[in-house]
A and B are shown apart, each in its own frame.
Chain A
């Protein structure tokens, strides 16, 4: 459910001036708990994002942002062997829904091309069962490289605890007419 870019059916943004980041103290704590877990190496950011993405779709859509955060982190604490679902439910005194187990991830491809600003590139038409950071709305589309970032661990592997060598990441500019022609 998480890959929402371009998804239709949503209404106006519920925008207010000086909108808060948090609405309740448990939200602050949920945010701090995941940051704490990342900080002490229980899981990495890619695993965390992927755990949220693996939430059952109806739960994902119904949960608030920080409930999704908590569900992702609790799922990982279970998967890393730190706690059991039973312990979570006993402590919470009720059901504690977790995310769905992961599909397999993938490691780096054998060859990694590098690009420079101005290069025209096309996004691969990959359909990945595990974690991927490519939003669906750019799959197969052509764009222009406009910036390069330092190398990062390959998220498709890093989110699954398998080999994830650093790879360069690029800012690529797409024209909206190419992404959503005639819209």
Chain B
């Protein structure tokens, strides 16, 4: 491609990752130690169960729900959750019987990853990024969510550092359940908006 690479066989991707890491270590930045901790956070700490807790609390606590819809970032911090510095704002998108929200990032793959987990593979694929904004009803149907025509679909494209998550409608049969049990039915995909609990 560009650079001094012509005629040379491309290094494997594993070798390229290791090369960058080793060179940062050489510069005294101690990348390897930091990366180990970041690996752990990405796989164990930044998980969709965080967002599920937020949803379950919103379903059971009307005052919290109101705070969450007004200032999402402060509300999730109340629950002991974190968001990176550059996610200065969390907008929580309330689904209703007539409005369904879905999130995407057409230009890269931005998400509220500390709450929803690192995004799933299909969210980062070109198919989802290209098509969800233009053919939302068709794409959702292909993905298994067939919304009736009277439900308006709102697609939120994460083009700035504002982050979004969907607050699904609580299934009627779960009214009165305890918060932990409610959290167990909230999936990552329902907080992205491509499925419903």
Using a CB–CB cutoff of 8 Å, the interface residues on chain A facing chain B are: 2-17, 19-23, 26, 28-33, 35-37, 39-40, 45, 49, 52-53, 55-56, 58-59, 61, 64-67, 70, 73-74, 77, 82-83, 85-89, 91-101, 133-135, 137, 147, 149-150, 152, 155, 169, 171, 173, 176, 179-180, 183
Known: A11-B127, A171-B162. A22 touches B118 (CB 8 A): yes
Using a CB–CB cutoff of 8 Å, the interface residues on chain B facing chain A are: 1-5, 8-24, 27, 29, 31, 34-35, 38-39, 42-43, 86, 88-89, 91, 106-109, 117-122, 124-134, 136, 139, 142-144, 154, 156-157, 159-162, 189, 194
In chain A, what residue has the closest Cβ to B159?
Answer: A133
Residues of chain B within 8 A of A85, CB atoms compared: 3-5
| Contact sample, A vs B, 5 pairs, CB 8 Å cutoff | A5-B130, A8-B130, A12-B127, A45-B86, A183-B134
A20 to B189, CA, bound (A): 12
Is B10 a contact of A94 with CB atoms below 8 Å? yes
Residues of chain A within 8 A of B86, CB atoms compared: 45
Minimum distance in angstroms from A49 CB to a CB of chain B: 6
Is B23 a contact of A149 with CB atoms below 8 Å? no
Kindly list 5 other residue pairs between chains A and B, CB separation below 8 angstroms, not including A13-B142, A14-B127.
A15-B194, A49-B107, A83-B27, A85-B5, A99-B2
Residues of chain A within 8 A of B108, CB atoms compared: 2, 49, 52
